[in-house]
Structure 1
């Protein structure tokens, strides 16, 4: 999971994943969507591939990239414990706010 979190730490890589979430894309299409040079896009794609976040397939001279949701599901599972913590705290805050409103009436 460390490699996935490292890959997600970069804004350009998150942008690539957002694009691939909607549709497969070539490296050229991804490069056109980012404000960085193509060699930089290739490096980002390599990091995403090594983290298991994207797959690539060859079609003639083109490489088509697609998202792999499995590693993101692992991160989502890990974050669930923190969501429960925050939900509990937000519920407690809501209760205190409601008590405060009742006492000022």
Structure 2
């Protein structure tokens, strides 16, 4: 029996148009909280990247990882288009989740 689970591909930003970070997790609220506390990644802690500006839900970890890798290979302009298609003001989506 195959059970579906929740996995997320997400993008964090330091500010509008700022430094971007692409990640994957099975617990979006926990992971973004760790980024905000500075414990999840040296990169996000160093550059102040903690604004959740985009996320996608997946039911397969393989799908989520494949999407993360795809987005990481994209040009910066394409990542910005992805963010702005759903979140044109680069609002921090975390408070609505937590």
Return the structure number with greater relative CO, CA threshold 8 A, min gap 6. Answer: 2
Q: TM-score, normalised by structure 1?
A: 0.26
The structure carrying a bigger helix percent of its residues is 1
Q: TM-score, normalised by structure 2?
A: 0.27
